[in-house]
């Protein structure tokens, strides 16, 4: 069989073209030895294990030999050679063993057998000594061939195993692996099998490492498409027998693993290739042998994260980050390579090193390399393979969160934000001192947004930096210097006296300067009560507000103290001692308070905690919109209208003025041993214990004959999500809100629930029948809130009770009408108003609807005011006069009311130039279809002074025409000026001019085409004796006959529809239009 093997490459030319050059085949040395070696290599499958060599050959006298070894194997030494496992071929089956030939001449460095005699040879067959059949031993071929003659008394069978041991063999002077031919019965076949024997240099001492260990990823078959494996290469000063080598690698985390040297296409002379896991950062390896003088000690491993490998396919592209260590790998040991930029400019050249297949390029220290570029790597063997390397920017940065860090005692926190362009990467963050020494380190992971914070505790002053090292690439970044210094801290109280009612929660604010922790001491031996609370400023705002519960604080319960801010903290210290009393509440007294910076430190500041007597002061009933139930976050958010009538479906609000109960509520919520998590559940617990009774019971006067009264079942109402409780000890207010639409009412035994009038309070017993019912219109309820005298909160022997009452009314609404009709005009800005029983703040939808020849549908949202009124604005400009409609309020029954679109009110006014003393103005005539007033404005109206421009207003004018209307001015003219006459309506019907006092909400002007009806004139002011005022006759109202005189009406004062009752905004717009008109007329 003929075997030829060669590789085809496309080496680069230097003229900048690509692909580069011609195809070449490597040249082979044409010697008999190498031809024979290559031929045998093509025929044989070689398996190396335990220092033996196995062969398979053609039909021969010897079909196989297991191994050929020398002991010692040192070059030049006299040695004992052992040839094991000589197997006869099938041709020798059942033949006699007559001779054995061992021929060293086929190797380039043959051994000498001249000194081997018959007494130096031992022959075994299948382990049995057959040396007695040896007839003679001779050396030939210049002592390079050993012939052993036998008497033929030993029969050979296929499968036999023959071993020859020869002493006094002289090893050659060269180290390495050399061929040896072995033949059985050569006189009949002369067809040997070839084996290999290995000689070493025999250097004294340990084998030396000539190139530091390198970790890299590579494909052993030279084809990167099959995936890469991780390896460590170690290069020695001699060949190492890998069969008894053991190695141990320790990774960055300190974990040690044993690894194995493997046969590989990457393995070169004097090197070992170990398979390993992917390594990064700091790693070490120890290589030793159990049978030779090999012990490297601990060696640092250079780790790489990307590999440019010479492959059979060529032109592969490797992507790496700028700054990482890049492995350059070739199967040709010591091969050189060159790097070129994208313009084919030469950058640098390197080599893999003697007996090595890997070199390392530090892309960060190589100045000719930069991120964002692709480079050509050209290997310099005769095959000239070209590969590519693309560098990206990892963008690793480390920035100190503060470069000036102080601490008062203990330690300071030094933190840094580490960012990179690539997310989800592990980074080793190391705190370094001013000398670059490691203080501490931690491994963090840059998260999905490309950033992570590393924080270190520092207990000594000095300058520090934080270094960030990307685990995978070894790329590093470092912060600016952080100065850590110790400073004197201080603590003080925000007030000298902190007051709280007995049973409530006190708030004691501690101000901190250059300190995060302080110790608050409360009490003294004089009051038989001493506690110490440690507070910590977790949000670094310089203060901690300590919440101190005067109920559970009496016994030192851990839940008695907390911090108001979420990030701050408060807890009792081990120095806390409390009074021995069984009283659950701290007594009313003055308690000394001081603060220090350590448990036994000096006082920094003093204050007084005044625990005052508590009280139950009253209860107020009110109502709120159904939509607002449950919307408040706390008591300060609760909004309601005080009212003793509650529309069915609205929120019933109880505002109880009481102190001393909030500590209990907080205790119940803070106690993890119960199922109480809300203020509602805490109140129900108080109710069930009889400490606090809240009873809502139907009055006897509204209870039907032979029926028990209705009572609100608070527990069932809470289960129906219809109960809200808000407690605010700052204002001593407890809100209990009930959603009447979903509240649960039962029937009560009046013998158990007695009326408030009997004994000052309801008695909460067990006489409630579990028969659900509903509150109905007309039902009245008494409400009582009682703190039982048996509780230590009550100082006397009588219960503390406050009470009130309310009536349930139906939801109703009615509209404001004229002659039982809602009247509007066919213009925009028409107001439809009314009153309702639902809670103030409720949003209602008012709907107007017409059918027939002129159908329309209009809606608007209105909000109920505190007095129960509502008002909405509509645009009827697209509806003809005298069209009838109905108005109604959605969601409230029986509210339909008839309405009509009436003709719009009209007005005209006329005023002439005149001379007066400035205190009066005379309007020649005015026609007002609905009655009203004529107002005099000055010229500042044109500048937008809607209200300030008013100088005076006439008396009320009846509907119809009036003439010679004298207007006394509240703000007289002192010099000549412009007067503007403007008719106004009496929208609220009180015959008083309210436009200015209502900010335009009432008594708006008559309008025409969207602007106020006006006329203007010039006023001349004369003063002194020569002044001749213009006569000002009294107004002479003229009955309205439906016609407006045209001879006195100026161009702008025509009988056009006006707008009664329009809102302030529209009135101001109308006035603005009038002002612009006045300007044009000037």
Q: In what helix (H) or strand (E) does residue 1071 lie, and over which residues does it extend?
A: helix 1064-1081
Peptide bond before residue 19 is cis, with ω within 30 degrees of 0: yes
Measure the CA–CA gap between 875 and 855, rounded to whole angstroms. Answer: 15
Coil vs helix vs strand at 301: coil
Q: Do domains 204-303 and 490-612 have the same CATH topology?
A: yes
Nearest to 822 by CA among 738, 880, 887: 887
918 DSSP assignment? S
Name 184's bridge partners: 100
Measure the CA–CA gap between 915 and 254, rounded to whole angstroms. Answer: 108
833 DSSP assignment? E
H runs (alpha helix) in 430-581: none
875-891 burial, b for 16+ CB within 10 Å, e for fewer? ebeebeeebebebbbee
Full DSSP string of 48-82: EETTEE----SS-SEEE--EEEEES-BTT-EEEEE
Where residue 502 falls (left for φ over 0; alpha for ψ -120 to 50; beta otherwise) is: beta
Token look-up 């040709």 returns: 332
Measured at the CA of 634, the angle between CA 633 and CA 636, to 5 degrees, comes to 120
Measure the CA–CA gap between 806 and 736, rounded to whole angstroms. Answer: 14
Domain boundaries, the chain: 1-29+306-393, 32-199, 204-303, 397-486, 490-612, 616-809, 813-902, 907-1081
Token look-up 């004018």 returns: 957
pLDDT of residue 291: 66
List of residues 6+ apart from 591 with CB closer than 8 A = 522, 523, 524, 527, 529, 608, 609, 610, 611
Full DSSP string of 358-406: EEEEETTT-TT--TT-EEEEEE-STT--EEEEEEE----EEEES-SEEE
C-alpha Rg value of the chain to the nearest Å: 54
Measure the CA–CA gap between 953 and 595, rounded to whole angstroms. Answer: 69
Sheet holding 605-612, edge to edge: 497-501, 605-612, 589-596, 517-524, 529-536, 569-572
Measure the CA–CA gap between 765 and 170, rounded to whole angstroms. Answer: 117
pLDDT of residue 149: 94
Domain 397-486 has CATH 2.60.40.1930: yes
Measure the CA–CA gap between 40 and 453, rounded to whole angstroms. Answer: 63
For residues 175 and 200, is the Cβ–Cβ distance under 8 A?
Answer: yes
Nearest to 553 by CA among 693, 670, 656: 670
Measure the CA–CA gap between 56 and 120, rounded to whole angstroms. Answer: 29
Measure the CA–CA gap between 774 and 772, rounded to whole angstroms. Answer: 7
What tokens appear for 736 in the block?
């209990």
Measure the CA–CA gap between 228 and 305, rounded to whole angstroms. Answer: 12
- If DSSP states are collapsed to H, E and C, what string results for 710-766? EEECHHHHHHCCCEEEEEECCCCEEEEEEECCCCCEEEECCCCCCCHHHHCCCCCCC
Measure the CA–CA gap between 979 and 986, rounded to whole angstroms. Answer: 22
The fold of 490-612 is Immunoglobulin-like (2.60.40)
pLDDT of residue 33: 33
Measure the CA–CA gap between 892 and 131, rounded to whole angstroms. Answer: 125
CATH top class, domain 1-29+306-393:
mainly beta
Where residue 231 falls (left for φ over 0; alpha for ψ -120 to 50; beta otherwise) is: beta
pLDDT of residue 769: 47
For residues 980 and 967, is the Cβ–Cβ distance under 8 A?
Answer: no
pLDDT of residue 1070: 54
Measured at the CA of 619, the angle between CA 616 and CA 620, to 5 degrees, comes to 155
**What are the phi and psi torsion angles at 719 (to 5°)?**
-65, -30
CA distances from 517 to 514, 534, 573 (A): 10, 7, 12
For residues 793 and 660, is the Cβ–Cβ distance under 8 A?
Answer: yes
Residue 493, burial from CB neighbour count under 10 angstroms (0-12, 13-18, 19+): buried
For residues 161 and 87, is the Cβ–Cβ distance under 8 A?
Answer: yes
- Give the count of alpha carbons within 13 A of 352, CB side only: 29
Measure the CA–CA gap between 497 and 611, rounded to whole angstroms. Answer: 10
Measure the CA–CA gap between 576 and 596, rounded to whole angstroms. Answer: 15
Long-range CB contacts (within 8 A, 24+) of 569-573:
569/535, 569/536, 569/538, 570/533, 570/534, 570/535, 570/536, 570/544, 570/546, 571/533, 571/534, 572/531, 572/532, 572/533, 572/534, 573/519, 573/532, 573/533, 573/534, 573/599
Measure the CA–CA gap between 327 and 280, rounded to whole angstroms. Answer: 13
For residues 408 and 515, is the Cβ–Cβ distance under 8 A?
Answer: yes
- Give the count of alpha carbons within 13 A of 662, CB side only: 28
pLDDT of residue 914: 96
CATH code of the domain occupying 32-199: 2.60.40
Taking the alpha carbons at both ends of the chain, their separation in whole angstroms is: 122
pLDDT of residue 650: 95
- Give the count of alpha carbons within 13 A of 929, CB side only: 21
pLDDT of residue 44: 31
pLDDT of residue 759: 34
For residues 727 and 668, is the Cβ–Cβ distance under 8 A?
Answer: no
Measured at the CA of 783, the angle between CA 781 and CA 789, to 5 degrees, comes to 150
pLDDT of residue 894: 93
List of residues 6+ apart from 162 with CB closer than 8 A = 85, 86, 87, 88, 97, 100, 123, 124, 125, 184
List of residues 6+ apart from 223 with CB closer than 8 A = 311, 312, 313
Beta-carbon count within 10 A of 603 CB: 11
Domain 204-303 has CATH 3.40.50.2000: no
What tokens appear for 886 in the block?
């109905």
For residues 394 and 473, is the Cβ–Cβ distance under 8 A?
Answer: yes
CATH top class, domain 813-902:
mainly beta
Average pLDDT of each block of 10 consecutive residues along the chain (1082 residues)? 26 34 32 32 29 33 84 86 88 85 91 94 93 94 94 89 94 87 81 88 70 89 64 86 86 90 75 89 88 82 91 82 92 89 93 88 91 92 82 95 85 93 93 95 92 94 95 92 90 96 94 91 91 94 94 80 94 73 78 94 95 93 94 90 94 93 81 82 85 90 88 92 91 93 85 44 42 81 90 82 95 94 89 96 96 94 95 93 95 94 91 96 96 96 93 96 96 96 93 94 88 95 63 45 38 38 49 48 44
Measure the CA–CA gap between 972 and 974, rounded to whole angstroms. Answer: 6
pLDDT of residue 772: 59
- If DSSP states are collapsed to H, E and C, what string results for 652-715? EEEEEEECCCHHHHHHHHHCCCCCCCCHHHHHHHHHHHCCEEEEEEECHHHCCCCCCCEEECHH
Measure the CA–CA gap between 69 and 177, rounded to whole angstroms. Answer: 11
pLDDT of residue 1040: 43
What tokens appear for 704 in the block?
């039907």
Nearest to 585 by CA among 659, 503, 500, 527: 503
Sign of CA dihedral 958, 959, 960, 963: positive
């Amino acid at each position: 069989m003929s075997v030829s093997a060669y590789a085809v490459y496309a080496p680069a030319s230097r003229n900048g073209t690509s692909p580069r050059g011609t195809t070449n085949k490597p040249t082979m040395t044409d010697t008999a030895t190498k031809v024979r070696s290559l031929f045998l290599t093509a025929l044989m499958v070689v398996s190396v294990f335990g220092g033996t060599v196995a062969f398979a050959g053609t039909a021969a006298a010897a079909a196989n030999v297991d191994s050929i070894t020398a002991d010692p194997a040192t070059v030049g030494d006299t040695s004992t050679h052992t040839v094991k496992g000589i197997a006869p071929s099938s041709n020798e089956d059942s033949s006699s063993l007559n001779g054995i030939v061992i021929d060293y001449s086929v190797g380039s460095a043959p051994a000498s057998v001249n000194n081997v005699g018959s007494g130096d040879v031992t022959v075994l067959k299948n382990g049995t000594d057959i040396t007695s059949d040896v007839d003679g031993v001779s050396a030939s071929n210049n002592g390079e061939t050993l012939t052993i003659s036998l008497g033929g008394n030993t029969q050979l069978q296929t499968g036999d195993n023959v071993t020859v041991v020869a002493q006094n063999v002289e090893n050659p002077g060269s180290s390495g692996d050399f061929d040896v031919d072995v033949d059985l019965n050569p006189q009949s076949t002369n067809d040997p099998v070839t084996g290999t024997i290995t000689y070493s240099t025999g250097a004294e001492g340990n084998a030396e490492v000539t190139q530091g260990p390198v970790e890299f990823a590579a494909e052993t078959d030279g084809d990167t498409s099959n995936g890469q494996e991780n390896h460590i290469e170690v290069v020695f000063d001699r060949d190492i027998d890998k069969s008894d080598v053991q190695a141990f690698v320790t990774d960055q985390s300190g974990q040690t693993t044993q690894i194995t040297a493997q046969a590989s296409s990457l393995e070169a002379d004097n090197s070992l290739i170990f398979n390993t896991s992917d390594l990064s950062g700091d790693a070490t390896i120890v290589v030793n042998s159990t049978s030779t003088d090999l012990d490297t000690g601990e060696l640092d491993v250079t780790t790489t994260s990307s590999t440019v490998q010479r492959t059979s396919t060529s032109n592969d592209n490797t992507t790496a980050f700028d700054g990482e260590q890049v492995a350059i790998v070739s199967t040709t040991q010591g091969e050189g390579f060159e790097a070129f930029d994208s313009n084919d400019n030469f950058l640098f050249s390197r080599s893999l090193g003697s007996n090595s297949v890997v070199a390392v390029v530090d892309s960060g220290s190589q100045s000719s390399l930069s991120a964002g570029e692709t480079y050509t790597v050209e290997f310099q063997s005769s095959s000239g393979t070209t590969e590519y390397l693309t560098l990206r920017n990892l963008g690793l940065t480390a920035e100190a969160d503060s470069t000036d860090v102080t601490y008062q005692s203990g330690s300071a926190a030094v933190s840094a934000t580490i960012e990179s362009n690539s997310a989800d990467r592990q980074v080793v963050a190391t705190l370094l001192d001013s000398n670059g020494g490691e203080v501490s380190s931690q491994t963090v992971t840059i998260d999905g947004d490309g950033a992570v914070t590393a924080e270190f505790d520092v207990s000594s002053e000095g300058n520090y930096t934080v270094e960030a090292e990307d685990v995978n690439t070894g790329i590093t970044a470092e912060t600016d210097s952080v100065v850590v210094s110790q400073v004197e801290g201080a603590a003080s109280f925000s007030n000298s006296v902190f007051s709280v009612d007995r049973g409530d929660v006190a708030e004691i604010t501690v101000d901190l300067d250059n300190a995060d922790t302080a110790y608050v001491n409360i009490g003294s031996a004089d009051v038989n009560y001493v506690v110490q609370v440690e507070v910590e400023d977790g949000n670094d705002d310089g203060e901690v507000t300590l919440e101190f519960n005067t109920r559970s604080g009496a016994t030192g319960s851990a839940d008695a103290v907390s911090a108001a801010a979420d990030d701050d903290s408060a807890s009792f210290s081990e120095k806390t001692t409390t009074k021995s009393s069984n009283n659950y509440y701290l007594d009313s007294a003055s308690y000394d308070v001081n603060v220090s910076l350590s448990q036994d430190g000096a006082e920094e500041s003093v204050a007084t905690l005044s625990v005052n007597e508590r009280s139950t002061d009253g209860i107020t009933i009110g109502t709120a919109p159904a939509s607002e139930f449950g919307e408040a976050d706390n008591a300060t958010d609760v909004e309601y209208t005080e009212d003793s009538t509650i529309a069915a479906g609205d929120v019933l609000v109880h505002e109880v003025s009481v102190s001393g109960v909030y500590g209990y509520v907080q205790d119940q919520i803070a106690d993890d041993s119960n199922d109480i998590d809300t203020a509602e559940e805490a109140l129900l617990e108080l109710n069930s214990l009889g400490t606090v009774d809240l009873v809502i019971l139907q009055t006897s006067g509204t209870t039907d004959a032979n029926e028990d009264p209705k009572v609100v079942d608070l527990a069932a109402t809470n289960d129906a999500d219809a109960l809200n409780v808000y407690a605010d000890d700052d204002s001593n207010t407890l809100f209990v809100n009930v959603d009447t639409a979903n509240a649960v009412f039962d029937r009560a035994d009046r013998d158990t629930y007695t009326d408030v009038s009997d004994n000052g309070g309801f008695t909460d017993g067990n006489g409630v029948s579990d028969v659900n019912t509903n509150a109905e219109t007309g039902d009245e309820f008494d409400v009582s809130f009682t703190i039982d005298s048996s509780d230590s909160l009550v100082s006397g022997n009588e219960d503390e009770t406050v009470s009130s009452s309310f009536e349930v009314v139906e939801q109703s609404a009615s509209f404001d009408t004229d002659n039982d009709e809602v009247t509007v005009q066919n213009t925009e800005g028409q107001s439809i108003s009314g009153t309702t029983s639902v809670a103030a703040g409720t949003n209602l939808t008012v709907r107007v609807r017409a059918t027939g020849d002129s159908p329309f549908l209009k809606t608007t949202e209105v909000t109920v005011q505190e007095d129960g009124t509502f008002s909405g604005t509509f645009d009827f400009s697209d509806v003809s006069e005298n069209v009838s409609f109905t108005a109604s309020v959605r969601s409230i029954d029986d509210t339909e009311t008839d309405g009509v679109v009436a003709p719009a009110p009209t007005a005209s006014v006329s005023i002439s130039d005149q001379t007066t003393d400035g205190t009066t103005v005379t309007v020649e005539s005015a026609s007002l279809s609905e009655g009203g007033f004529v107002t005099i404005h000055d010229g500042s109206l044109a500048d937008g002074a809607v209200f300030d421009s008013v100088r005076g207003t006439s008396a009320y004018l009846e509907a119809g025409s009036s003439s010679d209307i004298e207007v006394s001015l509240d703000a007289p003219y002192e010099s000549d000026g412009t007067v503007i006459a403007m008719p106004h309506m009496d929208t609220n019907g009180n015959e008083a001019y309210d436009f200015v006092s209502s900010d335009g909400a009432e008594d708006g002007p008559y309008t025409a085409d969207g602007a106020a009806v006006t006329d203007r004139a010039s006023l001349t002011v004369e003063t002194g004796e020569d002044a001749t005022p213009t006569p000002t006759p009294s107004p002479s109202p003229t009955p309205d006959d439906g016609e407006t005189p045209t001879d006195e009406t100026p161009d702008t004062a025509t009988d056009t529809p006006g707008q009664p009752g329009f809102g302030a905004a529209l009135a101001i717009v109308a006035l603005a239009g009038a002002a612009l008109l006045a300007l044009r007329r000037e």
